[in-house]
Amino acid sequence: MHTTRRNFLKAGGLLAAGAATGLSVIPGELFAATPAETALPAGEGAFMLPPLGYAYAALEPHIDARTMEIHHTKHHQAYITKLNAAVEKEPSLKGKTLEQLLGNIKLTPEAVRSDIRNHGGGHWNHSFFWTIIGPVQGAVSEKLTAAITRDFGSMVLFKEQFEKKSVGVFGSGWGWLVKDAKGKLSIISTPNQDNPLMDIAEAAGRPILGIDVWEHAYYLNYQNRRADYLKAFWNVVNWQKVSELYES
Ligand SMILES: [Fe+2]
């Protein structure tokens, strides 16, 4: 059995146990995993739903358990199912990693291009999102603090700008903090399930923080109050992970 599949199955059990007891379950090896590590390449059968690494109730009251469960098991799974169907239709895509697929949207055969863009993007974005939120926040590293201060003025000013950009996304999409090759930070947004890894993205850079502002991410708890969801988001950001991504 493939290691990733073994971890997935193991984590599924831990996650179920955590959800049943209401306890937070944070298996270290899984919590540290990146989207690229948790997703199987298409050539090995299919992309799979990565575990959260914590219980659905672990982010309450900021993000409620029902939202987390539906978001993870229904919405995220649906992107994966449709991504796998698109890869299955186009033999030239089999065996490619998720990042290879997203980095070559322009060259993707037209028949499946929008499916790869929307559902491949949806899979990457959600896999990433689960890792940069969590019940343990950790600290912002000195290097990341210095970069935020340099590029935005202060942490307070950064949060204001990030909230403004993300609240302002028209319709559905994502807000991102990205780092370019020189370590400079920028705040950008993308529509739908687009992300900065795609070769169609306006701004290149590696995401180190992101927020899902689709209504499915917050509507049960916040209804139309996206700004309140943004404020609550800061209570569940895993700054240790974001700092690691900045310094990697
Ligand atoms: Fe979502």
Query: How far is ligand 1, taken at its centre, from the CA of residue 129, in Å?
Result: 9
pLDDT in tens, 79-91: 999 999 999 999 9
Domain check: are 148 and 222 in the same one? yes
Domain check: are 88 and 149 in the same one? no
Nearby residues of 147 by Cβ (< 8 Å), 6 or more positions away: 179, 183, 184, 185, 246
Query: How far is ligand 1, taken at its centre, from the CA of residue 111, in Å?
Result: 25
How far apart CA 207 and CA 221 sit, in angstroms, is: 26
137, part of any domain:
no
Number of domains in the chain: 2
pLDDT in tens, 191-243: 999 999 998 877 668 999 999 999 999 999 999 999 999 999 999 999 999 99
pLDDT in tens, 31-62: 223 344 444 444 455 999 999 999 999 999 99
Query: How far is ligand 1, taken at its centre, from the CA of residue 170, in Å?
Result: 15
Statement: residue 8 has pLDDT above 50:
no
Query: How far is ligand 1, taken at its centre, from the CA of residue 195, in Å?
Result: 13
Query: How far is ligand 1, taken at its centre, from the CA of residue 193, in Å?
Result: 9
Cβ–Cβ under 8 Å, residues 237 and 208:
no
Domain check: are 36 and 121 in the same one? yes
Query: How far is ligand 1, taken at its centre, from the CA of residue 183, in Å?
Result: 27
Query: How far is ligand 1, taken at its centre, from the CA of residue 153, in Å?
Result: 30
The whole domain housing 93 covers 3-132
Residue 190: its pLDDT value, please?
A: 95
Query: How far is ligand 1, taken at its centre, from the CA of residue 51, in Å?
Result: 15
Domain check: are 47 and 153 in the same one? no
100, part of any domain:
yes
Residue 45: its pLDDT value, please?
A: 57
Domain end position, chosen among 132, 153, 171: 132
Domain check: are 29 and 128 in the same one? yes
How far apart CA 240 and CA 28 sit, in angstroms, is: 13
Statement: residue 122 has pLDDT above 50:
yes
The count of other CB atoms within 10 Å of the CB of residue 76 is 21
| Mean pLDDT within 113-117 | 97
Residue 30: its pLDDT value, please?
A: 28
pTM metric for this prediction? 0.83
Domain check: are 217 and 170 in the same one? yes
